[in-house]
Structure 1
């Protein structure tokens, strides 16, 4: 239980508690240099937690992207372009022989509508090219893909970031209760209070490649 007063089955929290949980989370992140920060929106009281990571993936992902780009440009007639494309292909193949690297930027926001945190993120190759929803979905670990495959596009969607107005991917909050209820019930059974953000992010983060170090669960307290 987060406050010691809520019913164990409740998966909701108010915005003030959300911010308190985030503050305690960020304090530990800073102590272990885990990279999380609080991003404040200028001229507003709004803000969110943010972390950027580089994730290695199978090279086949960027290989397919490169093949798609080549296919779109096959009708361009200049010999100079064809020579440049061959050079670029050689370079990409050399880099992608083993692994490719993707840049993921994660945002944790509070949803007033759902009264729970929501995980937004965007993904791109190192050249700045954004990944499509299909490509992001292909990078979901098979264990989680199996869990979500019944309604993948309802769970992992692309929407406008509510504070930045930019396209982001998100794990839709409609299934947060499904993720959180077992964790909260276990904590209640053990008479243990938990930090909602730590518990929630530990469950949903790995679905999209975001790991939460175990020390968060042992070092981050619940707000009073």
Structure 2
């Protein structure tokens, strides 16, 4: 009876607890809803284009038995919402953990994380260039890491990677259901010729790497907008006091 609502319920339960907790007086993440909306939209654009392209190519496709069957540009409406709901929970978790705990020690591993991850991604891309999902995921993830570390000079990659590791506790049930764990058939189906075939339960390993690059970009854009917002407030305060 609930089958057509499966995907939308996944989005709902992914975001609802974080959304309610955002209004807690010790967290007050609701003050950043506007900032998050802008950053999530900016990051979502290239990933949605990627999604539409891969769906059209048959790299993956959706089982509409688990959706309300509202399709936009070849994607179920739930898939569009996915790029808001998942990043919201991830950015919220990152915000909270850094607010209440000192995770800066993890940044001592920035160089190691970027070096090892980039080398692995580049090698995988070279060795498996015929698998489209594997190739694109590896190239984009390496590019994101190298850009953030060497060009944007971001010093939080270590703590972000630690938070993403913690987020795996939510990643497995959410992506597990999407890829077929606990249900009769997957909501998202993958062409076996387009990825490595290495799975964590029912989840292609590429999904975790894909999610990592998306997470890093969301944190990056969100932080940039927050800093810009704070500078505007600071300048305004100085102007008023003068």
TM-score w.r.t. structure 1 length? 0.28
Structure having the larger proportion of residues in helix: 2
TM-score w.r.t. structure 2 length? 0.26
Structure having the larger proportion of residues in strand: 1
Larger RCO (CA under 8 A, 6+ residues apart)? 1
